Structure 1
Amino acid sequence: MKVAIIFGSKSDKEIMKKASDLLNEFEIEHKGYILSAHRVPEKLSETIKELEEKGVECIIAGAGLAAHLPGVIASQTTIPVIGVPIKAALEGMDALLSIVQMPKSIPVAAVGINNSFNAAMLSIEILALKYPEINKKLLEYRKTMKENFIKENEEGVEF
């Protein structure tokens, strides 16, 4: 397994599924976990150790409200952590700010509110540095994306 997707509540599953879908498209082995930094901190710590032992190379962590989960994970491992702020109170701004305002030396990358797709894309870019086959798929994905954009918009826009 190369990527772990961790989120704090069953209600976050639909948001985080977009990350899984993209990783599936790239044929990247991953697994999801529902773990809370507040409700089951011991189980979270145990799982982080297991992920390190398994050689996981990137963790995507989704969290709303106080959004401590990505930071707590980052404080316990050197595996890169990508935080996904999940919209709850304050339209998700509270979660976004909690994730990006990590203390010096314990970074967490952050993507937009509810944007687990971009978290998966960032994890793919990280893995592409090490795995030529992932890099090749990423380059092809980008090429196709650009071609489709041009094709969809070459006729102009009607208002």
Structure 2
Amino acid sequence: MTKATVGIIMGSRSDLGIMEEAADVLKELGIDYELTVVSAHRTPERMFNYAQNAAERGLKIIIAGAGGAAHLPGMVASITHLPVIGVPVKSSNSIDGWDSVLSILQMPNGIPVATVALNAAKNAGILAAQILGTSDGKIAERVIKFKSDLKNKIEESAENLKAEGYPSSF
């Protein structure tokens, strides 16, 4: 088993459908990760132990997804020196997701949490890869290729629309 460099945690198993998107992009980019449930409210000791021991276990970045009050990313960031990327999750008990967004976004000075858009775990995975790529040339190359592939897909879509007869002067 390889050693994970990115930890993906979520406040509830119901967040897995969203948080798997971070895992999928990390897998695509060849970055080892771990994924588990850690609740700030229901298992605070587990959260504390996870965050306190993350760097010692080899993690370099933590992606934390949470819905509702969404305290998990901020609480983890208050315990570890590692960068934390927060993913606000629109959950069944949320106020259209805004409570999660604001809970993660509005951190006090000294406890930063990088925050992606609502349900945007894929962007959290990409951001984690970009951060790791600043000190690992192989990861940087894979991120550059990933972004180039995105560009190529859009260019191809535009050409396909033209070929299907949709008017465009661009």
State the TM-score bracket (shorter-chain normalisation).
over 0.9
| Aligned twin of 1:158 | 166
> 1: distance between equivalents of 2:166 and 2:11?
44
Quote the offset at 1:145 in angstroms. Answer: 1.4
Indicate yes or no: 2:158 matched with 1:143: no
Name the CA distance, whole Å, in 1 between partners of 2:107 and 2:73.
10
Q: For 2:109 and 2:116, how far apart are their aligned partners in 1?
A: 19
SS in 1 for 2:56: helix
Residue by residue over 1:38-68, the C-alpha shift from the partner in whole angstroms, topping out at 9 and shown as x without a partner, is 1111111111222121121100000000000
Q: Secondary structure of 2:55's match? A: helix
Q: Distance in 1 between matches of 2:166 and 2:71?
A: 45
Measured in 1, the distance between the counterparts of 2:149 and 2:114 equals 26
SS of 1:119's equivalent in the other structure is helix
> What percent of counterpart residues are identical?
42
The normalised TM-score by structure 2 is 0.90
The residue number in structure 2 matching 1:52 is: 55
Q: Does 1:11 align with 2:19?
A: no
5+ residue gaps, structure 2: none
TM alignment of 1:23-38, pairs within 5 A: 23-38=26-41
1:129 Cα offset (Å)? 0.2
1: distance between equivalents of 2:14 and 2:132? 28
Question: What is the alpha-carbon root mean square deviation over aligned residues?
Answer: 1.3
Of the structure 1 ranges 146-155 and 115-124, higher mean CA displacement relative to structure 2 is found in 146-155
TM-score normalised per structure 1: 0.96
Aligned to 2:104: 99
2:89 corresponds, among 80, 83, 86, to: 86
- Cα distance in structure 2, aligned partners of 1:14 and 1:117: 11
**Partner-residue secondary structure (3-state), 1:31:** strand
User: Which residue identity does 1:131 align to in structure 2?
Assistant: D
Report the residue type matching 1:142 in the other structure.
K
Q: Distance in 1 between matches of 2:10 and 2:145?
A: 30
4+ residue runs over 2 A deviation:
154-159
The structure with the largest alpha-carbon Rg is: 2
